[in-house]
């Protein structure tokens, strides 16, 4: 789960990271009011969307004085921002963060992620802050410094010092930098984060180390024990269909094709998308109804897929191991009748009670095409949209 910049800054500041003064606004009037609480004349009006690279998309506007702030806020609020991270659809701005503008003399990058191979948290740091770190890494991998954290004891002060010296940071900033690094690590650990990133981490002309932008993501599987983090979710930033599907307990990812897929099991669902692609089609979604699906789950899944107007055909691929094809078939028939499904439905049933399932479909009177194999099903579906 992702959160906004202002939320990440609030969390990190509780762990000892210095952030600029700022306040959240839902309207231009509120933005002006927030600016009054900031000591400096120059502020930034920052669009709060779940994406980086906002500056290039015009999502961060430097302002001075009430009029400029009101104008910038007015323009940003409700605007659809397309950044290199949002995809072509972009994200709509519903919240603004008004923040003190800082003068930076140097900018660093600091990031904490889990390294899957090592099964440890890794700190990455670079003296080239501000820019896109992936680009930087691709150009000059040796400029990225990495330290591995031993999970049993956590990040140690010597590791933070090592990073400071490696980066060539002025020694007068040693304490501040160590506090920042250790704070980020504790935030990562204590809040079940999957990413903590400060980019840029700036040194100001008066010798302060300040996080100018911050990003945090969290482990969805740990939200049950992080109620505070779970409450930071901004549903307006999520695809409405995906959100609905999650509420219904489905595993759904919207894609950009036109063949709706309903599959049991994530692995089989992935394989189904692949087969569609091999057959020359494009899937509209990934949808895993789970391994032990009951008839009402099929109902929810069909309902979710139909809400996506780009779906021109539905492909159902069920391999019943611990569940049963007759349940799935019953659920399908009921859902097709209930929602008056008008797009063609291709069904492949295999495994437990597959025969009974097929009989149910054939005798139901609803129009479905039964495919014998996964590949047939994919090919039939692709034919329908051509």
Partner 1 sequence: MSILVDKQNKVIVQGMLGEKGTFHTKRMIEFGTNVVAGVIPEKGGSEYLNLPIFDTVCDAVEQTGADTSIIFASSPFAGDSMMEAADAGIRLCICITGRIPQQDMMRVKRYIKGFDESERMQLIGPGSAGIISPGKGLVGVMPSYFYREGDVGIIARAGTLGFEAAYQLHKADIGISTSVGIGSETITGTTFVELLERFNTDDETKAVIMLGEIGGLQEVEAARYFRDHMKKPVISYIAGVAAPKGKRMGHAGAIITAYGESAAEKIEALKECNMPIVSDPSIFAESIKEFL
> Which residues make up the interface to partner 1 (CB under 8 A)?
114, 116-117, 119-121, 151-152, 189, 192, 194, 219-222, 224-225, 251, 253, 255, 264-271, 273-278, 283, 286, 288, 291-292, 319-322, 350-352, 373-375
Packing angle of the helix pair 354-364, 325-338 (nearest 10 deg): 20
Tokens 């930034």 sit on residue: 44
Judged by CB, which is closer to partner 1: 97, or 188? 188
Min dist CB 325 to partner 1, Å, is 12
Phi, psi (degrees; rounded to nearest 5) at 170: -55, 135
Min dist CB 189 to partner 1, Å, is 7
Min dist CB 133 to partner 1, Å, is 12
Residues with active-site annotation: 109, 197
Min dist CB 114 to partner 1, Å, is 6
Q: Rounding to the nearest 10 degrees, give the CA dihedral for residues 83, 87, 89, 92.
A: -40
Min dist CB 73 to partner 1, Å, is 30
Which residues is 23 bridged to in the sheet? 98
Judged by CB, which is closer to partner 1: 116, or 386? 116
What does each C-alpha distance from 352 to 16, 112, 291, 305, 320 come to in angstroms?
Answer: 57, 46, 12, 25, 5
CA neighbours closer than 13 Å in the CB half-sphere of residue 323: 25
Judged by CB, which is closer to partner 1: 221, or 231? 221
Contact 143, 128 (CB under 8 A): yes
Min dist CB 220 to partner 1, Å, is 8
Q: Residue 267: exposed, middle, or buried by beta-carbon count in 10 A (0-12, 13-18, 19+)?
A: exposed
| DSSP, residue by residue, 43-95 | EEEEE--S-S-TTTTT-EEEEESHHHHHHHHHHHTT-EE--TTT-TT-EE---
Min dist CB 86 to partner 1, Å, is 11
Judged by CB, which is closer to partner 1: 105, or 278? 278
- Residues sharing a CB contact under 8 Å with residue 364, sequence separation 6 or more, in sequence order: 329, 333
Judged by CB, which is closer to partner 1: 60, or 276? 276
Min dist CB 109 to partner 1, Å, is 17
Picking from 241, 163, 252, the residue whose alpha carbon sits closest to that of residue 201 is: 163
Q: Angle at the Cα of 313 (from 255 to 284), degrees rounded to 5?
A: 0
Judged by CB, which is closer to partner 1: 40, or 294? 294
Judged by CB, which is closer to partner 1: 56, or 270? 270
Q: d(Cα 119, Cα 128) in Å, to the nearest integer?
A: 27
Judged by CB, which is closer to partner 1: 56, or 278? 278
Q: Which helix (H) or strand (E) holds 207?
A: none
Q: Rounding to the nearest 10 degrees, give the CA dihedral for residues 91, 77, 103, 143.
A: 0
Q: Rounding to the nearest 10 degrees, give the CA dihedral for residues 57, 18, 115, 151.
A: -160
Packing angle of the helix pair 325-338, 295-306 (nearest 10 deg): 40
Strands 345-351 and 369-371, sheet pairing? parallel
3-class state of residue 120 by DSSP: strand
């Amino acid at each position: 789960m992702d959160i906004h910049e202002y939320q990440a800054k609030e969390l990190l500041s509780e762990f000892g990271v210095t952030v600029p003064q700022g306040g959240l606004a839902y309207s231009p009037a509120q933005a002006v009011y927030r600016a009054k609480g900031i000591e400096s004349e120059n502020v930034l009006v920052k669009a709060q969307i779940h994406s980086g690279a906002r500056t290039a998309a015009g999502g961060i506007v430097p302002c001075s004085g009430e009029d400029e702030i009101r104008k910038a806020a007015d323009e940003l609020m409700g605007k659809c921002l397309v950044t290199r991270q949002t995809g072509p659809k972009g994200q709509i701005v519903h919240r603004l963060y008004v923040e003190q503008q800082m003068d930076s003399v140097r900018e660093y990058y600091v990031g904490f992620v889990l390294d899957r191979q090592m099964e440890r948290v890794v700190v990455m740091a670079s003296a080239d802050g501000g820019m896109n770190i992936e680009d930087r890494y691709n150009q000059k991998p040796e400029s990225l410094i990495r330290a591995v954290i031993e999970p049993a004891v956590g990040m140690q002060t010597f590791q933070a010092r090592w990073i400071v010296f490696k980066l060539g940071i002025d020694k007068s900033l040693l304490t501040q930098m160590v506090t920042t690094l250790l704070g980020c690590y504790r935030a990562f650990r204590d809040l079940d984060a999957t990413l903590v990133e400060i980019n840029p981490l700036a040194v100001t002309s008066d010798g302060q180390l300040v996080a100018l932008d911050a990003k945090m993501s969290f482990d969805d599987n740990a939200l049950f024990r992080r109620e505070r983090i779970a409450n930071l979710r901004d549903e307006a930033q999520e695809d409405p269909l995906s959100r609905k599907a999650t509420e219904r307990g489905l595993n759904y990812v919207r894609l950009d094709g036109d063949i709706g897929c309903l599959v049991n099991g994530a692995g089989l669902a992935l394989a189904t998308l692949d087969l569609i692609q091999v057959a020359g089609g494009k899937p509209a979604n990934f949808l895993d109804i789970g391994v032990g699906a009951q008839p009402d789950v099929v109902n929810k899944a069909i309902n979710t897929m139909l809400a996506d107007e780009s779906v021109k055909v539905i492909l159902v691929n069920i391999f019943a191991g611990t569940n049963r094809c007759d349940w799935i078939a019953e659920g399908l028939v009921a859902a097709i009748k209930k929602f008056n499904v008008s797009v063609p439905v291709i069904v492949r049933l295999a495994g437990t009670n597959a025969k009974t399932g097929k009989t149910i479909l054939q005798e139901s009177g609803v129009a479905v095409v039964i495919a014998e194999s996964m590949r047939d099903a994919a090919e039939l579906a692709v034919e329908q949209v051509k």
